[in-house]
Amino acid sequence: MSTKADPLEALGALPGVPEAVDSVRKAVDQVYGHRVMRRRSNEITAEAALRGARGSAALSGADWALEEVRRRTDFSQDAESRTVGGALRLTAEAGQLLSVWRQSPLRVLARLHLVAAGGADVSDELVGRPRLAGEPVDEPLIELAVPGADEVAGRLEGLSELVVAGGSAPALVTAAVVEGELLALRPFGSHNGLVARTAGRIVLIGSGLDPKSVCPLEVGHAELGRAAYVAALDGYVSGTPAGMAAWIAHCGRAVELGARESTAVCEALQRGAA
């Protein structure tokens, strides 16, 4: 392992970040300590996946009611339907890629894009690989300047090296950096938001913070709203300590809200109301 200082550890020490990490741990512990989780955790996981997919799709422009997502079986009719369908497929895929993620994050990202784009009107040659110079990016809800293909390739390689090297940084910090970097880079021609949020979820699951995937950060991101999401992402892209800390704290709040959502599901099941 490299003897260089771990930049993720440095981010974990920024003002406000240790408090965010502690708050997330308490929220996650509350869900896992609920008596319903001991008997019906598979149901909580399935419901969290559905709600997480709905939240991620909402941030990508398809803000459907939960019951509509639950009811619908055909997700091929229009752009919004395909976005929701892609989000659902990604949540189903996330848990299957944990071992590969630890060894080859770039391979997982290519797979996630392939899954997200399934059924979409995207040329096959643009699916499952980072974009090349001159290729367009269709990500209208993120209005930041788009980095060039060479910068994308270099930063993706750097991100991969950080993930593979591991380290002692809190899972929240790693997940926030993975999601923020992918949103900033938009490495694929489409579906970057869906892919970025799924990659963040994979980090939280694989780190052991949320091994049953019952604390969907996508739910929290959607509840906090797109405007707050974009503003926090601006902080990440700025690269300043304050901006980075604000983005990590925002992601932490999203995880807390996802945990609260699953706690409410646990309580509903306990009452026999769900």
DSSP string, 45-84: HHHHHHHHHHHHHHHTT----HHHHHH-----SSHHHHHH
Please provide the DSSP assignment of 143-163 as one string.
Answer: -SPPPPHHHHHHHHHHHHHHH
What is the distance between the alpha carbons of residues 203 and 102, in angstroms, rounded to a whole number?
Answer: 9
Can you give the pLDDT at residue 140? 78
Question: What's the distance, CA 23 to chain centroid?
Answer: 19
SS3 state at 187: coil
In sign, the C-alpha dihedral spanning 92, 98, 100, 103 is positive
Write the CA distances from 100 to 97, 109, 164, 204, integer angstroms: 5, 10, 10, 15
**Of 144, 116, 148, residue with least CA distance to 131:** 148
Can you give the pLDDT at residue 166? 87
Can you give the pLDDT at residue 2? 42
Can you give the pLDDT at residue 6? 81
Report pLDDT digits (tens) over 172-186: 999 999 999 999 999
**Which residues fall within 8 angstroms of residue 91, CB to CB, at 6 or more apart?**
49, 50, 52, 53, 56, 198, 201
Can you give the pLDDT at residue 7? 87
**Which residues fall within 8 angstroms of residue 23, CB to CB, at 6 or more apart?**
252, 256
CB 203 within 8 A of CB 181: no
Q: Tell me the CB-side half-sphere exposure of residue 54, using CA atoms within 13 A.
A: 20
* Helix, strand, coil % in the chain, rounded to nearest 5: 70, 0, 30
With a cut of 70, list the residues of the chain below it in pLDDT: 1-5, 119-123, 273-274
Phi, psi of 61 (to 5 degrees): 100, 0
Can you give the pLDDT at residue 274? 47
Report pLDDT digits (tens) over 103-147: 999 999 999 999 999 855 555 777 889 999 999 898 878 889 999
The reported pTM is: 0.94
